[in-house]
Structure 1
């Protein structure tokens, strides 16, 4: 079992035990498994070389919660993309400056019971914001 799945499994189990970590919401009937990911925004070309990172836990099923500031919005955005982080769309019409200050976005965990590992580096925060309106905003 990979470290990411163990961390997410422990986090989901911990939320179930705590009960007060986040308000519970009903899971949609079409979900087929647990959905919980750790999301990271890192300044730099990669997670390994970054010294400035922010990471949150987003749990979407069986309950919504975690440490993400807007779990309902983030879960809805990922669901609209079919759980495919490559298909997330934020502000695609916004033009960004040509300044190189790389930002790496990452997601690790499970979505509907399937393992998720997403990494993408953008030239700057504006371009990273074009990927998502809620998921990577924390």
Structure 2
């Protein structure tokens, strides 16, 4: 990575880290969190940790927000109840990722954390929810 790209990345990560750090206490207090409707703070951890704030009323903040919100609505906000993607074939490659989410869904607190053997398995089991790619 060039020095310029590192500088740009560092300049973008600092405000993001401050924003996320400031949002964390509010995310756990579902009553009075200040965000309307259903929302989840999502993260996939591998190497460089990053995350997004998925808002579902209306869907935004996520590359696949509409799909993720639709899948979450069908599962009642329970990520573990999202049906496994039919026909998903993942390599038997061990490259672990941990998916986590906390927030509020229909007034209930959501606190989800699960380790998957690789990102393909994670996508097959959680649909669009943790597909944070742009």
> So what's the TM-score if we normalise by structure 2?
0.69
Runs of 4+ in 1 over 6 A off after TM superposition: none
Alignment partner of 1:128: what SS?
helix
* Conservation of the 8 A alpha-carbon contact between 2:71 and 2:128: yes
Count, aligned residues: 107
Q: Which residue of 2 aligns with 1:36?
A: 39
Question: Which consecutive unaligned segments of at least 5 residues does structure 2 have?
Answer: 1-23
Q: Find out whether 1:71 has 2:74 as its counterpart.
A: no
> So what's the TM-score if we normalise by structure 1?
0.67
Alignment partner of 2:87: what SS?
coil
* Conservation of the 8 A alpha-carbon contact between 2:79 and 2:126: no
Question: Which consecutive unaligned segments of at least 5 residues does structure 1 have?
Answer: 14-33, 44-50
Higher helix share: 2
Q: Which residue of 2 aligns with 1:9?
A: 33
Aligned counterpart in structure 1 of residue 87 of structure 2, from 77, 93, 106: 93
